[in-house]
Amino acid sequence: MHLALPPAQLLSLADKHGLPLFVYDGGTITRQIESLRSALDVPALEIHYACKALNTIGIVKHIHNHGCGIDTVSPGEIVIALQAGVPASEISFTPSGVLTEEYAFAISKGVHVHVDQFHVLDWLDIHYPGLEITLRFNPAIQAGGHSKLQVGSDGSKFGIMSHQVDAIKEKTRSLSLRITGVHMHLGSDIGDSGSFDQAYEYLLTIARQWADTIQRIDLGGGFKIPYHPQDHSIDMPAFGHKISQRFRRFCEEIGRPLTMVVEPGKYLVSAAGYLLMEVSAIRDGGSIPMAFVSSGFNHFLRPMNYGAYHHLINLSNPEGDVHHYDIVGYLCETDNFASNRPIHEIRRGDILCLMNAGAYGYTMASNYNTRPRPAEVLIADDGRTQLIRRAESFADIMQTDLGYVADGLSSPVDPKAG
């Protein structure tokens, strides 16, 4: 597990922008896009970055500049993609169980929508007759790095279930909507290409049912990247070769070239991100020393939410002796980044770097314990450093709190404080 950026550069960014700080290496994102593109050899390919992983406008722009479209799940993400300059024709909308108003918003912007519920089809047919849509299916296969990430399994809330396929076929026959795409997303953190094979085969079987109108087959995302030094990544060249061959055969069978769509999130941005945090305290006296950092699961949730391993490096004491530490955050509840972790000696004031902080870091951050969220810096392909988001202030957090107004008293909260 290595840093793509020199430690001295990370330390100087920490010095300049303050801590905690997210730093993203654009070069790593670019290489990941290229590795995916060169592995997928099909008549037409669209990479739709699942921007829920990291949707700061500077990042979305960077990814779009490298030829990717954007997959979104909310009106907010659609607005971000549009503001980043992505044309509506390159944005897809794959929500889950949302109000029909959200579909109306997406359609009003010209964004292609993915649908997996019967009532939405009826509603779309009434309001947007003839609309081209994609249907999302559930392949009923259990795969993913954690039970919470296995969203293509039977009984998950996503996609049209296998026993509903005939009914949906029947229904779409009676509607004016045009089914131009089929979609699935198996889950996240999947390294075993066998599960993908099985799921994609299932989707192709389904696609045959709409062979006359289908233009695109969207395979979702979920491609594994290594989190642990001993972990592996999906073997992208071998995996890509296999699925491309299968896809081309399918196009021959249908008699026309179709577009393959993939929706990676983690694969593009995870390894590009670093979260830099300052050590605020060391507590000795327990079975092993405990290092406190001035951050917590409010800034990075994955270890607490999924028990995820994230590699940590002591940037400011790389030559120190290695000891074992519990590394904990500053929130007022259990807040562990790592337990019993070997790392170069940690002293108060040291700067730790948490790796793989690009995906589902900032986008899952919160203001818990009334803590502002950090700034974000992007290092572009040419090495230029750009602050793409400033740190929040206390005033930002308090902006929506109108205070308690009683007896004509105005707000007791001064949002400008801090």
Give residues in contact with ligand LLP (CB under 6 A).
50, 53, 71, 94, 149, 185, 188, 220-223, 263-267, 302, 306, 359-360
Residue 348's CB: how many other CB atoms inside 10 A?
A: 11
User: d(Cα 189, Cα 192) in Å, to the nearest integer?
Assistant: 9
- When the beta carbons of 17 and 266 are compared against ligand LLP, the nearer one is 266
User: Within 13 Å of residue 365, how many CA atoms lie on the same side as its CB?
Assistant: 27
Give min distance, CB of 19 to ligand LLP, in A: 22
State residue 142 phi and psi, 5-degree precision: -90, 115
The answer to whether 69 and 49 have CB atoms below 8 angstroms apart is: yes
- When the beta carbons of 307 and 418 are compared against ligand LLP, the nearer one is 307
- When the beta carbons of 14 and 303 are compared against ligand LLP, the nearer one is 303
Indicate which residue of 51, 251, 332, 353 is catalytic.
332
Residue 201 Cα distances to 95, 165, 243, 257, 411, angstroms: 24, 15, 10, 17, 60
Residue 343 Cα distances to 207, 318, 326, angstroms: 50, 9, 10
The answer to whether 376 and 392 have CB atoms below 8 angstroms apart is: no
Give min distance, CB of 300 to ligand LLP, in A: 10
Question: Token pair 């997303």 is at which residue?
Answer: 185
Query: C-alpha 215: how far from its chain's center?
Result: 26
Give min distance, CB of 359 to ligand LLP, in A: 6
Name the region of 220 (left: φ>0; alpha: ψ -120 to 50; beta: rest): left
What is the three-class DSSP state of 226?
Answer: coil
- When the beta carbons of 317 and 356 are compared against ligand LLP, the nearer one is 356
- When the beta carbons of 197 and 396 are compared against ligand LLP, the nearer one is 197
Give min distance, CB of 156 to ligand LLP, in A: 11
- Chain length of the chain: 418
Q: Which of 23, 18, 15 is nearest to 355 (CA)?
A: 23
- When the beta carbons of 75 and 314 are compared against ligand LLP, the nearer one is 75
Encoding tokens for residue 408?
Answer: 């004509």
The answer to whether 121 and 171 have CB atoms below 8 angstroms apart is: yes
Q: Amino acid identity of 398?
A: M
Residue 6's CB: how many other CB atoms inside 10 A?
A: 9
User: d(Cα 339, Cα 336) in Å, to the nearest integer?
Assistant: 7
- When the beta carbons of 58 and 144 are compared against ligand LLP, the nearer one is 144
What is the three-class DSSP state of 366?
Answer: coil
- When the beta carbons of 200 and 223 are compared against ligand LLP, the nearer one is 223
Encoding tokens for residue 315?
Answer: 């940037």
353 among known catalytic residues = no
Instruction: Say if strands 44-50 and 112-115 run parallel, antiparallel, or are unpaired.
Output: unpaired
Give min distance, CB of 180 to ligand LLP, in A: 18
Give min distance, CB of 89 to ligand LLP, in A: 19
User: d(Cα 259, Cα 328) in Å, to the nearest integer?
Assistant: 46
User: d(Cα 55, Cα 363) in Å, to the nearest integer?
Assistant: 7
Give min distance, CB of 318 to ligand LLP, in A: 28
Which residue's Cβ has the minimum distance to ligand LLP? 265
Encoding tokens for residue 37?
Answer: 């593109």
Give min distance, CB of 157 to ligand LLP, in A: 11
Catalytic center residues: 332
